[in-house]
Structure 1
Amino acid sequence: MLCVSQWCLFWCVLFTDGPNQVILSPNRTSFTFDEGDDVPDVTCEADCQPDCCLMWITPTGQVKSNGILRLPKINRTQAGIYLCNASNDVGNMVSDGVTINVRYGPEKVTISPNKTEYVVNEGEHVHDINCSAEYGPSLVVLSPNKTEYVIKEHESLPDISCNATCKPKCVGTWTIDTGEFVSDDILSFPTIKRNQSGSYRCNISNSVSSMISTYVSVIVTYGAEIRDITIDGENFTIPENVEKRLICEIDGVPKPYGRLFHNEKEKLSSINPIVTVMVPLCNDTGNYTCAAENSEGKANQTKELFVLCSPRPVVGLLPKIAVGNDSILEINVIFFSYPQPKISWTFSVNGSNEIVKSNDTIGIYQHVSSIYITDMKTSQYGMYVLQVTNGIPNDFKHTFEVLPQRK
């Protein structure tokens, strides 16, 4: 924190930083103890702002939520690799692995032949008697000695084996963090798929005892994908002025960044999911494109949204138009409507109505209707009525009174 004061002004700048080093004390990464010994405390520290949360991760994946590794009267099942994780809102870092080896005596002594008494005459030969001991695993060794693999989908994961010194010989089985059996001694994925991401452990055992390895994290990366674009679970024809949520679901590893466009204009950007709340108007009709991108690739998908709306002019219309005799009358009306409208023009004078031919340009939701009369005559002055319908309530009707222009 840096603070500066001058005159009556005081200001303070707060710097934030994640851990850049995890320090172990004592600074060792391997210990060997006899079973039943008290393991001296191993502490981990990190320089962070704000302060880091320090956690020890045991070989079985359990978490001890403080910076002190304390193992009183250690037993063989606690042997393995311990990691200290330091994290705050800015970032996280994992220490070097601390290997704890536990020595212990034989579990079972076997005599062969399995006899406890021999009666022989002096000078005769006593058959050889063999003594051997059986023991379970004291440390699970992974090969390669890695605990995290980041690999692209459809590529091959290097074979990972687990071994231990045991008598009789140990057998290993790999399981994923859900507890589901995956394979025997060797973990192998020749063509890995995204649903094979997860944390794996090897359980190695014989008739004496068993031990579980530390977790091996397998992260499968793949390019950004668009899962779906929905609007409150409905189809993409919606009523006007009713609040809706347009949702774009994206996927990918690493997490992709997504953007939402309306007719090529960006509206929103975020991680998954991309959600925009809208009270749609007629001119919200158009193409909605969801785009996503990560370091492995990019994708986009477009859906066309239609907003049901009654006909209405884009701008206000004049009630009266003055046109000189022998001049040109031209009326252009731009209006919104979806679905497509039915358009009619009529000329009304002295109680009689005549149909007026119009030139119409029909778009998706925006349309133009025009009438054009050259060489205006006295008989053509009067009321020109535009009527537009599309099946949505509130038809549009407007009357233009065309008057002779004063000289």
Structure 2
Amino acid sequence: MVIILKCLMIKLRWLYLVLARTLFFVHGQKFEIWTEFLNGDVTFKWTNVSSLRNDILITKDSHSADWVKTNEDHYTVEDVLKYKSVTIEVREYNCMDFSKCYVEHKKTYNVIIVEAKEGESRNISWTADYFPENDFYRIFHYTHNGSRTRILKITKDKAKSAEKYVYHTRPLKSVNILFEVKNITVEDAGYYVGGVTRNDDDGGVILVVHGKPMRPTIKGQLTIRVGNKAFLECISRSTSTPCYYKMFPPLSYSWYINNTRIEGENWETYYFSVSKDVKYNNYSCRVKETVESERSDEVRINPLYGPEKVIISPQPPMNILKIREGDKFGPYNCSADCNPPCTFQWFNKIPSGKYEATYQSDSSHVLPEQTSNRSRTLFYCVAYWSEDSGNTYSNLTIDIQYLSEPIVYINGVTEKYSNIPQNVSLTLSCFTDGNPIPTVTISRGTRNQILGKVLNNWLNYTFPRKAQCTDSNIYRCEGRSKQYPTKVATFSINIPCKPRLDNRVEFKSTVYIRDLPNSVSVNVPIISNPKPMLITWNGPLPNLAIRTTISQRNEVYQHWVSSTIPIHNESFLGNYTVFGEGIELATIEITEIEPDLGSTPSQWILWIIVEVFAGLFVLLTIISIICKATCKFGSGTSVTSKGCHDVYDVTLGTQEGRGDLQNEYQYLTVTELGQFNTGRKSVDNKNNKSDPSNHYENSGKMTSGSTRPFVPTI
């Protein structure tokens, strides 16, 4: 009985081992751990050879957690960039006795961060586990949005670098991987890793790019009454990448008044009390992370305040001016400090005892010397402020009719000379202050082409199309009033453009000449602003001695390119292309006119000689063909007759449809003793092979110094 029980126990133990091996192992598999990095998190993955659970231990830098039981085949560590390294230990169990039957596997992920600024270059390096002998080693870039791009592929014999990436490792099969990322932008930030297969994870270098913060803008209420507080906010954001890198420094702020930094103001919001004087201040801000941003556009506070008093100077005694009719008075100035500008109303007392309004002006004005009028017995000036229903006045009234100098605005900017790029909207504004209201005119050029005319202080003229260099000219802004001489402001607009042919001017692209040598003078009409400094020609021959001058036509953008082209012989004939500043302008064909053979007796004689030569050529060609045919059919095969050989050496095929005599005589070459040789290979049509004994290799080459259509010598 004991023996039976022992045997049963042995069988049960054997069965247990077999079942354990069957349940817990896959024969031939190898336990392996690899890593995958994505958006700042690293995931450890492994192959579960056993179906039993695993225990894992995570160590972040030198701090270890407790062992954790898991049935998964992966574990993710978030925000791994906070650590220098993360290590995972996995216990692989291969039997039910968890205290004994396990193997520990370890994998460490080292966090390597390379930091750079935009425009710099950085080397990225790591040590590979191995370099393949017969395969590619690949380097990948994972961008901050998760997309993957292969940037380099290296073998032990070849590494092809790109403009952006340069592979520096030597020898190529070294496991010390080193490559350079050049001219770094924020798009180059991310994760760089290398390997041979999907599970290879050599490297793991994070490139952090410190970008320049976005150029800030200032927001806030800019029009504020004096005594209230102004709040300005500097708005910007970081452009540094990758976004999962959490250690970028916070944005810091700097505030400026009239380009001078305000000490102690380092916050996003700047607030201050508004006074009259702030209207002279320009406010701007700048943002800094690692790199400092550009300065924001300047803003100006518009303080609102009304007039405290109206000033008339010089002040007459008792504020009453007593004058006789026809006497002169003035000048007087009526002014008040207010914003927005006050409007002034001048009043005079009429004989009925009432006051009538006579004149309205801007925030300040000078009344010039005036001739008195009996209908005007009392004057006073009233200042009105639009932000308040009240008004302020002083008891002197000045009624002035005036016409001020025109003020010109080019696209909203006051200037008398403006450089404007092409293809932008162009608006000209002319402001002429006057009383009565003047007639304002904008005209163009020396001929005063009128673009706009209006009875108003303001005239705005917008060009119907985008600005072109043909709009470059001198413009006039005129203000006209019957009481005053015309006021004129002259201003210039310059719109640069690249050289091009002026298609509005007739230009002949073909030039005929009769006698050689000769020279050709050409005038090419072009449009260019400014005048091109470099004019070059390309022609049939290099190093052409072409003389060129550039002269202005009617307008600043219109020019003549005047060139003299020497034509010494026939090799100088052909197409000539002119370039301005490297830009092709026009192509001119220079060709020779054939002589008129019927013009003179000498030309008639030349024509007769040419005809005789042509006839002899045709006759000799027919004789050659007959002789050739005789040699061909005399034997019935492709042979060379001795008698014929004294005249030519050529073999014709005998198959039907082959040996086109006309095509056989492409050209002839002059040889010794007046013999003729064709410039084609003779072909044995029967065997479809070249017969080296019955032809000359003359095709495309010169014989006796020249190769040309044969003309017999008389």
TM-score, length basis structure 1: 0.47
TM-score, normalized by length of structure 2? 0.28
Q: Larger % of helix: which?
A: 2
More relative contact order in 1 or in 2 (CA 8 Å, sep 6+)? 1
Q: Please identify the structure whose Cα radius of gyration is greater.
A: 2
